[in-house]
Amino acid sequence: MATLKELAARAEEKGELLSGGHRACLGCGHPIVIRQALLAAKEPVIVGCVTGCLEVTTTIFPYTAWRVPFIHSAFENSAATVSGIEAAYRALKKQGKYDKELRFMAMGGDGGTYDIGFQSLSGAAERGHRMLYLCLDNEAYMNTGIQRSSATPKGAHTTTAPAGKVIPGKQQHRKDLTACMVAHRIPYVAQTIAGNWKDLTTKVEKALAADGPSFINVLSPCPTGWGYKPELTLEMGQLAVDTCFWPIYEVEDGKWKLNHQPTEKKPKKPLVEWLKSQRRFAHLFKATDSEELIAELQERVDQDWEELLAKCE
C-alpha cells in the first residue's frame, strides 16, 4: 500500500481533486475523507453521490469542488446509478470501444446508505458490480436538520428524537451496517475513521483493487450535530476507536482482521469518555436516572467488541 511519500507524489501529479472553497462546516469530517480517498485511487475515478451534506456543500450550481467526473443522484440510488455507469463501461470495453482503466466510487451519508439507499446498495452488491461504496457516517440526517437515522446511537439527542422528560434521546441502538454488507459475501468490507490517513487510504486501495463490489464505512465526526469544538474532529474519531465504539477492521474475501486493538500501555477507554465529549449526550450526565442507560451503552459496546474479537480470531 502507498506510503506517505508515494501519496505526496500522487498529490503533486494529480493536484487537488476536491478543491477548497466548498461550503462544508468548519471541522466537517467529509472533506478529509474524500480528499484522502481520491488520493488513494491509482486509476482515474468516476464518483456518484446522493443528496446530503457532501453533495450540497460541494456542488451548489453553478459551482463545483470536484475535479473528477461527478454525478449527483437522488437520495436513494447512488449505488444503482454508479452500478449502471460501471455496467456501461464494461460493455464498452467488451466491444473494444474503450480501453482505459477506470474505477468507480458511490458515496452517501448514513441517511442515504443505512436507510433510504440500502435497497440499491444491497442490489448492487448482489449483482456483483465492481465499485466501491463509501459511506460517510456522521450518525444522523445532518443536512436537513439533525434528524435521527438508523446510524444514530441510542441516547443521542436529535430533532426527531429529542432528549426531554418523556424520552432520553433516541430509544433504539444503531444498525450494524458493516455487518450487513459482510453478509453479502462481497470481496472487501471495512470500517475506518476520518483522521487515520494510513488506515483509510490503505483500505481504499484494497477496495478499488477488489474484483467485485467493496464497501467502506467511515465514521465522519460532525461538530454541528454532535456538539464539539471543530478543531477536535480527528480526536473524536480516534476516541471512538479507543473506546471500541467504532472498531477499525476489514473483511477480505471472508477473512476478518482487526486493524487496531487496545494494549497494556493503551488500554480500552470507557465509553463515557466519548459520550461526555459531545453535547448530544449532555443530558445523560444531568439526569439522575441515566446511569442505567449509560451502563447499557457500555454493555452493548463490550458485547459487540467481544463478538468482533471472536470473528477476527
Write out pLDDT tens, residues 129-176: 999 999 999 999 999 999 999 999 999 999 999 999 899 999 999 999
Condensed to tens digits (0 to 9), the pLDDT of residues 53-112 reads 999 999 988 999 999 999 999 999 999 999 999 999 999 999 999 999 999 999 999 999
pTM above 0.85, yes or no: yes
pLDDT given at position 298: 98
* % pLDDT > 70, the chain: 100
| 289 has pLDDT over 80 | no
Mean pLDDT of the chain: 96
How much is the average pLDDT of 295-305?
A: 98
Task: Please give the biggest Cα pair distance in the chain.
Answer: 69
Q: Does domain 4-312 have CATH number 3.40.50.970?
A: yes
pLDDT given at position 290: 87
Confidence of residue 177 (pLDDT cuts 50, 70, 90): very high
By the 10 Å C-beta count (0-12 exposed, 13-18 middle, 19+ buried), 193 is classed as: buried
Strand 214-219: give its sheet, edge to edge: 70-72, 45-49, 103-109, 132-137, 214-219, 188-193, 249-252, 255-258
Confidence of residue 9 (pLDDT cuts 50, 70, 90): confident
| 4 has pLDDT over 90 | no
| 6 has pLDDT over 90 | no
Delimit the domains of the chain by residue range. 4-312
pLDDT given at position 163: 95
As a whole number of angstroms, the distance between CA 49 and CA 265 comes to 41
- Residue 300: CA atoms inside 13 Å, Cβ hemisphere, count? 17
The candidate with the shortest Cα–Cα distance to 252, out of 202, 185, 196, 194, is 185
Q: Residue holding cell 462544508? A: 24
